[in-house]
Amino acid sequence: MKLIEIKRNTSSDVVALQNISRKTFIETFAEVNSPENMTSYLAEEFSLDKLSTEILNPNIHYYSACITEEVIGYLKLNFGTAQKELQDENSLEIERIYVSKEYLGTQVGQLLLGKAITIANDKKLDFIWLGVWEKNHRAIRFYEKKGFEVFDEHLFIIGDDKQTDLLMKLKL
């Protein structure tokens, strides 16, 4: 396999970020959600306007995993007030970590998670937390193997469907 580069996204990366965001969300969740709910969620969460605004927010960091120029996965980190639930200054939230279906099982997810852990350690944070759909057993196992533990749950809404995410935490 070719060398995988993890790079911080800037405004010039917004179209590629939108493409990988939509692609991986569809690959992961289209089979278990209605087309209407998927369309609604994709339009709301992955619009160019929203992604452009988020990239400019100093408390939101996007990173892409790339092979040559191809984006094969990405990571979204939230700090401070950008965090969805806890907004703890001593933590960071991994809001999204997705890998293209054809690259699952090739260490890309581990590299992206490693990037988040490195950043958290560099900032001397106490913990990393994230939400993962309670029925995404592959992701839950991945995080548990890395030392994450469930500490709570929250509601995740796709269109008109209310789903439960497990909140998981990794103490540093």
CATH number of the domain at 132, please.
Answer: 3.40.630.30
pLDDT of the chain along its 172 residues, tens only? 679 999 999 999 999 999 999 999 999 999 999 999 999 999 999 999 999 999 999 999 999 999 998 999 999 999 999 998 888 899 999 999 999 999 998 999 999 999 999 999 999 999 999 999 999 998 999 999 999 999 999 999 998 999 999 999 999 9
**pTM for the predicted model, two decimal places:** 0.94
Number of domains the chain is built from = 1
Asked if 109 and 29 count as a contact pair (C-beta separation under 8 A), the reply is no
Q: What are the angstrom distances between the C-alpha of 31 and each of 26, 28, 49? A: 8, 8, 27
Return the structure tokens found at 166.
């497990």
Tell me the residue range of the domain where 68 lies.
4-171
Distance CA 159, CA 24 (A): 18
Active centre residues (catalytic): 143
Side-by-side strand order, sheet with 127-133: 4-8, 60-67, 70-79, 91-99, 127-133, 161-171, 149-158
What is the reported pLDDT for 105? 87
What is the reported pLDDT for 20? 98
Q: What are the angstrom distances between the C-alpha of 170 and each of 18, 57, 58, 140? A: 28, 24, 23, 13
